Amino acid sequence: MGLKHLLTVNDLKKEDVDAIMRMASRIHQGHYELLKSNKILATLFFEPSTRTKLSFQSAMYKLGGQTIDLPINSSQTKGESDADTIKTISKYADVLVLRHPKNEIMEYLSNYSDVPVINAGDGSNQHPTQALIDAYTIRQYNHRKEELTIMFTGDLIHSRTVRSLLELLKLDEFNLDFKLHLISTCKYYPIENYINISDVKFTCIDENQIDQYIGEVDVLYMTRMQAERHIGKYVNYNKFIMTKELLDKMKMDAIIMHPLPRNEELPEEFDSNYRAKYFQQVKNGLFVRMALIKYII
């Protein structure tokens, strides 16, 4: 057991996932002990964030720890490199939470840290802590099912949360206890490219077929258009917008998930529907990140 860094989902073994999920569930029920000594978590976000950064900071405070944050007017404005920044801050903190616009840069950057590094998102590549939160939320509402149908919609090609969740579901040892059927709007990116397990069923659909399939889904996982990642050519990958008619076709016990932030694909009017679980996902983020901090520190 033990996790040096959490840079990609592939750093996790079954025992890590199980331990973090169990601990998150105890924290959810209000049972947890504070960290033993006065620990410091540093957040270094080179890309915008609301939930990920603040939930890590809040999680650390709830555990009795402290946080420091890379200021906007850091020495990077004087040309200091990311590597030197990380080398420096890792002397002040017990764990670093790092977000960066560049894909697959985490391994390189983690080499400069004396303390564990948690990837809070690298480009369109990985977002392993969001995957843990999403898997926790899926388990929370679906633990009695034998078969689980998840539909992914939106800008899948640029979604690090979808990619990471698929990789977490793929973890051989990470047995969700149900057979998976994954449906996605795959015109631009077939999700099979992320996950290839023989016993997972895939259905590739067009956006105008969503209404034919929506009645089958247990989990609808929506994503926004990641306009900031469309360098050069802008393609609207996300023409799907939730409507009352579609919601009415969904199973009574289906859930709607979204990593947030959302845009026009998920109008606010659906927030009060009992199937809308994206703000529960936000809340679970605190429990899962508290558990992860305790596990990694």
Give me the residues that bind ligand NCD (CB under 6 A), please. 51-52, 121, 127, 130, 160-161, 224, 226, 259-261
Nearer to ligand NCD, 39 or 52 (CB): 52
Separation between Cα atoms, residue 155 and residue 157, nearest integer Å: 6
Beta carbon of residue 66, minimum distance to ligand NCD (angstroms, whole number) = 23
Which residues make Cβ contacts (< 8 Å) with residue 117, sequence separation at least 6? 5, 6, 7, 86, 95, 96, 97, 98, 106, 109, 110
Q: CA-CA-CA-CA torsion for 229, 181, 140, 162, nearest 10 degrees? A: -10
Separation between Cα atoms, residue 90 and residue 166, nearest integer Å: 31
Beta carbon of residue 102, minimum distance to ligand NCD (angstroms, whole number) = 14
Nearer to ligand NCD, 116 or 121 (CB): 121
Nearer to ligand NCD, 168 or 260 (CB): 260
| Active-site annotation, residues | 51-52, 78, 99, 127
Beta carbon of residue 254, minimum distance to ligand NCD (angstroms, whole number) = 21
Which residues make Cβ contacts (< 8 Å) with residue 205, sequence separation at least 6? 183, 184, 185, 186, 212, 213
Beta carbon of residue 92, minimum distance to ligand NCD (angstroms, whole number) = 25
Separation between Cα atoms, residue 208 and residue 202, nearest integer Å: 18
Which residues make Cβ contacts (< 8 Å) with residue 29, sequence separation at least 6? none
Q: Could you write out the DSSP letters of every residue in 1-21? A: ---S-BSSGGG--HHHHHHHH
Beta carbon of residue 146, minimum distance to ligand NCD (angstroms, whole number) = 29
